[in-house]
């Protein structure tokens, strides 16, 4: 992005700086503590939990590895390692794509669905207590829209996309 590197930076206002610093703290702390809660209650890390959740949301409980990688914002090689771990634990099966026979598909097993169902209440309680309950008098639709815009801007300039 040439404009960002060549344009003179515009300093953050005091309000912007305070918001940025709070955002950084949340980015660093919230996933760590929510994952700690999840590991303690279900022996799943945050990425593993979300992989199981993404698969559970599909009508066939399956996704191509490339689709799973894109949803999770993980590299293909990183997603392969996660799926291998979950596969060893019997929570996911890897199969060849029936569509073209080339791609790999991750399929949620019955054991994976049970593990997700067991983990869900504690994960929900953690997310609510550690994050959501602190958003008082906040328009969540606006927050969601703005966070999605930040994610889209970051993803479009991500090294994975280049």
Does domain 39-124 fall under CATH 1.10.10.10? My reply is: yes
* Greatest alpha-carbon span in the chain: 56
- Residue 141: pLDDT over 80: yes
Q: Where are the domains of the chain?
A: 39-124
Name the CA radius of gyration of the chain, rounded: 19
Q: What is the pLDDT of residue 110?
A: 98
- Residue 7: pLDDT over 70: yes
Percent of the chain's residues with pLDDT above 70: 93
* Helix, strand, coil share (%) of the chain residues, nearest 5: 70, 10, 25
pTM, whole model, 2 decimals?
Answer: 0.84
CA–chain centroid gap for 84, Å, is 18
């Amino acid at each position: 992005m040439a404009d960002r590197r060549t344009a003179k930076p515009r300093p953050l206002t005091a309000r912007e700086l305070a918001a940025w610093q709070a955002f950084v703290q949340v980015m660093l702390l919230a996933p760590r503590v929510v994952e700690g809660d999840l590991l303690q209650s279900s022996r799943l890390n945050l990425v593993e939990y979300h992989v199981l959740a993404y698969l559970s949301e599909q009508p066939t409980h399956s996704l191509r590895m490339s689709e799973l990688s894109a949803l999770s914002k993980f590299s293909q090689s990183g997603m392969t390692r996660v799926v291998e771990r979950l596969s060893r634990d019997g929570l996911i099966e890897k199969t060849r794509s029936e569509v073209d026979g080339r791609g790999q598909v991750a399929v949620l097993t019955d054991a994976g669905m049970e593990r997700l169902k067991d983990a869900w209440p504690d994960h929900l309680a953690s997310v609510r207590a550690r994050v959501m309950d602190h958003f008082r008098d906040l328009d969540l639709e606006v927050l969601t829209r703005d966070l999605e815009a930040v994610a889209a801007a970051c993803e479009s300039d991500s090294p994975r996309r280049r």
